[in-house]
């Protein structure tokens, strides 16, 4: 299997898009997928870093035609460096020698017209986006940020498109997942600070932050990370224990050893959260503003707002209570709870899921509560359910607790891949005459042959414990997918009334 990435970086675009694509490429490679990159040859691009990661990288020229693009935001459209038609042709030509199975696009300047042209290659399409400002014709869409924009994306993608939304899908280097379970909650006085504003030219921000720290705690240890396009800093320093770093393969070790971070509210937000690192953030791009605001609301960061209005004095005001008082351990704990570092692993599982992917069953436990609530409130699931009302968190908690406590009359089985990716659930509840069966899949697993296998495995497991039980299930007439599964399982249609079909199993 071959996956191709269309992603750009530059001194203006920054490094975040490439960094997160590299994280996904590493996870795919670990699962036997060959990955190649296509990028335009912008000034300050990270093509060499991609190649050093072991991935072939093809650079597109920047002088094909005038800088016009396709996105709905004109400034971001210019990031393409050419017309959408030219970029599509350049990309197709670069990939002509490959049989691409998946095309991953991470570019604010490309939309459905470009994607439709590339779909002609027969590849599945994954779009990585943050801003929900344009249409897409993709099979999967990823927005790893907050706040949740699933509702907005649902209006911009085809009905079959699976939407992966939120930090549980954050694309991080595998080293972050490794450190996630090793670091503890930060508490007490801050002894070490990490300063990193991304891969762009943020020398002024760096200087403001360093001089603010020096004014408050000149003896404190500071690690400052600069991008390869940053100008070199002089030998003089406002801090006695300051170390500069550049071209690091990952920031995970520095984050794991720090007590506080100062940086931009971009991709590194999820890296900091994964390692439980409290952060003071600024926004260096418009799309970072809602992320910073939501993280501040959740108590994850201190948000200083847009970088354009910042001064050393504002840094001093924000940092003073953090550097002169002890940190509350709950701050770090909130960060750790938000991101576990397994986002790339989850996305890879969905991309590679197919009719032959091995599945296994396990009993549901208390840790599955949030998972099942997310599945049950999927719009399509609600539409085909007998009751279409949204299920509240309180309602679901009470319902789920009762089911787990009554294992004699209720069995809930979770199907998952051998890597632990949950695929769907099947529930059996004792009724007056028969046991009632119901099931639903993770929305991201529909259409991949997992439904019938999940139900068949679950029914076989159920009958091992209840060999003489009859099963019955009820579905809406227009729920064609569930009706097909019941029919393929050998259930017979016993009744049709008021738009509801009842299925009865034959004896096991």
Cα torsion 46, 51, 54, 58 to 10°: value is 100
Alpha-carbon span 402 to 410, nearest angstrom? 9
Are residues 225 and 252 in contact, defined by beta-carbon separation less than 8 angstroms?
no
> In whole angstroms, what is the distance from residue 264 CA to residue 308 CA?
12
| Tally of CB atoms within 10 A around 213 | 26
What is the distance between the alpha carbons of residues 266 and 283, in angstroms, rounded to a whole number? 8
Cis previous bond, 423, omega within 30: no
Q: Which residues are catalytic?
A: 17
Place of tokens 């600070």: 193
Instruction: Enumerate the β-bridge partners of residue 140.
Output: 126, 162
Cα gap 338→285, rounded to integer Å = 23
> Quick one: which H or E segment has residue 303?
strand 301-306
**Strand pairing of 279-283 and 301-306?**
parallel
Classify residue 124 by burial, with Cβ atoms within 10 Å: 0-12, 13-18, 19+.
Answer: middle
User: Which spans in 167-278 are helix H?
Assistant: 174-180, 203-216, 252-257, 268-274
- Report the Cα 364 to chain-centroid distance in Å: 24
Rg (CA), the chain: 25
Indicate the SS3 state at residue 308: helix
Start-to-end C-alpha separation, the chain: 40
3-state percent breakdown (helix, strand, coil) of the chain, nearest 5: 40, 25, 40
Asked whether residue 493 is marked as a ligand-binding residue, the answer is: no
**CA 73 vs CA 69, 81, 133, 135, 200: distances in Å:** 9, 14, 8, 12, 21
- How far is the C-alpha of 15 from the C-alpha of 25, rounded, in Å? 15
Q: How far is CA 373 from the centre of its chain?
A: 18
Residues belonging to the binding site for substrate are 271
């Amino acid at each position: 299997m071959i996956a191709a990435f269309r992603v750009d970086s530059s001194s203006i675009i920054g490094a975040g898009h490439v960094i997160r694509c590299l994280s996904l490429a590493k996870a795919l490679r670990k699962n036997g997928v060959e990955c190649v990159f296509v990028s335009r040859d912008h000034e300050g691009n990270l093509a060499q870093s991609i190649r050093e990661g072991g991935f072939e990288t093809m650079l597109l020229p920047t002088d094909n035609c005038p800088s016009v693009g396709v996105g709905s935001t004109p400034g971001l459209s210019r990031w393409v460096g050419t017309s959408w038609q030219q970029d599509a042709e350049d990309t197709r030509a670069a990939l002509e020698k490959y049989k691409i199975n998946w095309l991953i696009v991470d570019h604010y300047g490309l939309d459905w017209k470009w994607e439709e042209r590339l779909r002609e290659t027969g590849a599945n399409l994954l779009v990585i986006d943050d801003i929900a400002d344009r249409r897409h014709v993709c099979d999967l869409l990823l927005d790893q940020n907050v706040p949740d924009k699933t509702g907005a994306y649902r209006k911009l993608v085809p009905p079959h498109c699976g939407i992966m939304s939120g930090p549980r899908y954050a694309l991080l280097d595998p080293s972050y997942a490794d450190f996630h379970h090793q670091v503890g909650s930060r508490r007490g006085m801050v002894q070490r600070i990490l300063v990193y504003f991304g891969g762009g030219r943020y020398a002024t921000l760096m200087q403001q932050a360093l001089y603010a720290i020096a004014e408050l705690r000149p003896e404190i240890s500071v690690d400052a990370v600069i991008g390869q396009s940053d100008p070199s800093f002089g030998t003089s320093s406002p801090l006695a224990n300051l170390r500069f770093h550049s071209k690091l393969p990952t920031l995970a070790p520095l984050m794991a050893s720090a007590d506080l971070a100062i940086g931009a509210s971009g991709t590194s937000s999820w890296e900091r959260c994964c390692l439980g690192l409290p952060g003071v953030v600024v926004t260096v791009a418009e799309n970072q503003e809602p992320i910073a605001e939501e993280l501040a609301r959740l108590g994850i960061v201190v948000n200083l707002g847009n970088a354009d209005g910042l001064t050393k004095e504002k840094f001093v005001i924000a940092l003073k209570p953090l550097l002169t008082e002890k940190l509350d351990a709950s701050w770090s704990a909130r960060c750790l709870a938000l991101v576990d570092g397994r986002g790339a692993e989850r996305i890879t599982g969905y991309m590679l899921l197919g009719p032959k992917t091995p599945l296994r069953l396990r009993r549901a436990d208390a840790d599955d509560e949030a998972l099942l609530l997310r599945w049950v409130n999927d719009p399509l699931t609600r539409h085909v359910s007998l009751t279409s009302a949204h299920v509240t968190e309180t309602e679901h908690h009470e319902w789920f607790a009762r089911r787990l406590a009554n294992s004699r009359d209720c069995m809930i089985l979770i199907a998952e891949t051998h890597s632990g990716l949950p695929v769907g659930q099947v529930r059996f509840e004792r009724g007056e005459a028969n046991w009632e069966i119901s099931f639903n899949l993770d929305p991201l697993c529909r259409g991949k042959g997992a439904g019938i296998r999940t139900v068949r495995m679950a029914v076989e497991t159920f009958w091992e414990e209840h060999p003489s039980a009859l099963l019955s299930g009820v579905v809406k007439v227009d729920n064609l997918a569930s009706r097909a599964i019941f029919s393929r399982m050998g259930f017979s249609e016993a009744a049709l009334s008021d738009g509801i079909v009842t299925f009865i199993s034959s004896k096991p």
